Amino acid sequence: MSSDEMKSAAARAALAHLPAGGVIGLGTGSTTRFFIEAVGELVRGGRSFSCVPTSRASRTLAERCGIPLLDDAGPWQLELCVDGADEVTPTLDLIKGGGGAHTREKIVNQAAKRNVIIVDESKLVARLGETRPVPLEILPFGLNTTLAALAALGEPRVRLVEGAPLMSDSGNFIVDLTTSPIDDPAKLDSTLRGLPGIVETGLFIGRADVVVVAGAQGIRELRRQ
Ligand code: 5RP
């Protein structure tokens, strides 16, 4: 099975978690793209969903798929949000933000009654920080001061795309903080959120209800205890 086949299989398996209708959060990334396309097929077949996209890219795709969308301001009554992740631990803690959309993703996650995460098995880790840095969204004002404060916690790097800083949909920098494997991600999250200038972290602690994992052996679901 190719990586795309696994992503597509996880996305299709997540359709079983959809309610009959209502407001659904649409995550961001290459796995979620398959989910958005599948929701588009359902809508064209007569299912009634309104959706809240977590990035401009997801909004553009969802519009192209003919999915009715709510505006960015909310408030929304979300039955479910389906999103991807960069790392998943056995206790369903996550690193997100590989696409730099984690602030919007966390807002929509918080507003949803249930959160389903879709991944291929390459995302499973024993501890957060094993394979990926922690993405941070950071205000442009005082960037170098914030980076200096972050150096006490790991190695911060402004994320670049083709040599230029990647700016989030909200006009902020994305900084990747490389750490060693994280023993206490909730504590690190709270420390990071205590630093002025940090808008949001990509640590999603206790925010996933179900993780749908696609692997060579098929689909399995991990549930929060
Ligand atoms: C974007 C995210 C994505 O959900 C995460 O990076 C996973 O992406 P992909 O499905 O492309 O591996 O958090 O900010």
At 6, is the secondary structure helix, strand, or coil? Answer: helix
Mutation test residue for ligand 1: of 28, 34, 54, 203, the one with most atoms within 8 Å of CB = 28
Type and span of the H or E element at 2? none
Q: What is the mean pLDDT of residues 61-80?
A: 98
Q: What is the mean pLDDT of residues 151-165?
A: 98
Say yes or no to pLDDT of 119 above 90.
yes
Among residues 186, 166, 185, which one has the least CA distance to residue 176?
Answer: 166
Burial of 22 (0-12, 13-18, 19+ CB in 10 A): middle
pLDDT reported for residue 225: 83
DSSP string, 46-112: T-EEEEEESSHHHHHHHHHTT--B--TT----EEEEEE--SEE-TT--EE--TTS-HHHHHHHHHHE
Q: Is 53 in the pocket of ligand 1 (CB under 6 A)?
A: no
List pLDDT tens digits, range 123-149: 999 999 999 999 999 999 999 999 999
Whole-number Å distance between alpha carbons of 190 and 209:
21
Q: Which residue among the candidates 105, 121, 137, 221 is catalytic per the annotation?
A: 105
| The model's pTM | 0.97
Q: What is the mean pLDDT of residues 182-198?
A: 98
